[in-house]
Amino acid sequence: MERKSKIDATGAIVLLGIMAMLGLNQVGIKIVNDGIPPILQAGLRSLVALPIMFALCMFRSTKIPTRREILIPGLLTGFFFAAEFALLFQALKWTSVARASIFFYTMPFWVAVAAHFLIPGERLSLIRILGLVMAILGVTVALSTNTSQAGPYALIGDLMALLGAVGWAAIAIIARVSKFSTIKPEAQLFYQLIVSAVLLLPLAFMLGESMTEPTLTHWSIFGLQVVFVVCTCFLLWFWVLSVYPASDMASFSFLAPVFGAIFAWLILGEPMTLAIILALGLVALGILLVNRR
């Protein structure tokens, strides 16, 4: 499919669905953390999704190239994929879903800043810089009013979610500036799944993580994550990234933390405090301004 210069109706519908699923996914991760520790959960998710993605590649006759200009960025995106989810899964163990969502979905700002220097035609304007300032204010409000009941490590969890956002942005930028963007989305995701599984499972073992009596509910949610998040949402995300501008697709990302906070309130009973609402509003407005043309 040829690249487009702006988001159209198809892209908008796909991105809306992705953001809703990603917001719900964070609630799922937090629930499953009680039965399967964070790093182990992230590694197992990549491992279980790997044969599904390989089967999809075979079904679509998609080749997984290993030439140097693909292999190097493929390994790099795999490393950042592993780092992104190791940080996010652990963050959701220590802080609330609403707060993790605010920090994790600052990703568009890191993309916008990197794109300013690395991608022609995606430079920051005064309005977009104002958007970055709004986002920073939102993050500051969230950090300064931590009323999370997740435990004494909540602030560390907040910062880990923020670093996870940087890892996610790195994947988007590498996919845009390298030959990695020329291969099909399922091949891109296959690279990231295999590298993250190889990195995360030994890491979980070294950290001494082990199962803590997961229930049928834990395994059911884990299975839904594999099928609907990894093998569907992530695949759609890479397709969107291959067709639409990197910064424009982020204009919908403001919905993900909103969905995350709402689902956490409805399902987990997390409080919807004034500080959370203010931080969400500032980050959402910042994303809209950053992606304003």
Q: What's residue 207's pLDDT?
A: 93
User: Which residues have C-beta within 8 Å of that of residue 205, sequence separation ≥ 6?
Assistant: none
8, 88, 236, 270 from 188: Cα distances, Å: 24, 21, 12, 35
The 10s digit of each residue's pLDDT in 32-43 is: 999 999 999 999
Q: 257 with 23: CB under 8 angstroms? A: yes
Cα–Cα distance for residue pair 290/135, rounded to 1 Å: 9
In a domain, 1, yes or no: no
- The answer, yes or no, to whether residue 149 has pLDDT greater than 60, is no
By CB neighbour count within 10 A (0-12 exposed, 13-18 middle, 19+ buried), where does 234 fall? buried
In a domain, 217, yes or no: yes
Cα–Cα distance for residue pair 180/167, rounded to 1 Å: 17
Boundaries of domain holding 161: 9-290
Which of 260, 203, 212 lies closest to 46 in space, CA to CA? 203
Half-sphere exposure of 244 (CA within 13 A, CB side): 21
In a domain, 103, yes or no: yes
The 10s digit of each residue's pLDDT in 54-99 is: 998 998 898 899 999 999 999 999 999 999 999 999 999 999 898 8
In a domain, 118, yes or no: yes
| pTM for the whole structure | 0.86
In a domain, 229, yes or no: yes
User: Which residues have C-beta within 8 Å of that of residue 31, sequence separation ≥ 6?
Assistant: 217, 218, 221, 268
In a domain, 111, yes or no: yes
In a domain, 284, yes or no: yes
In a domain, 193, yes or no: yes
Domains of the chain: total: 1
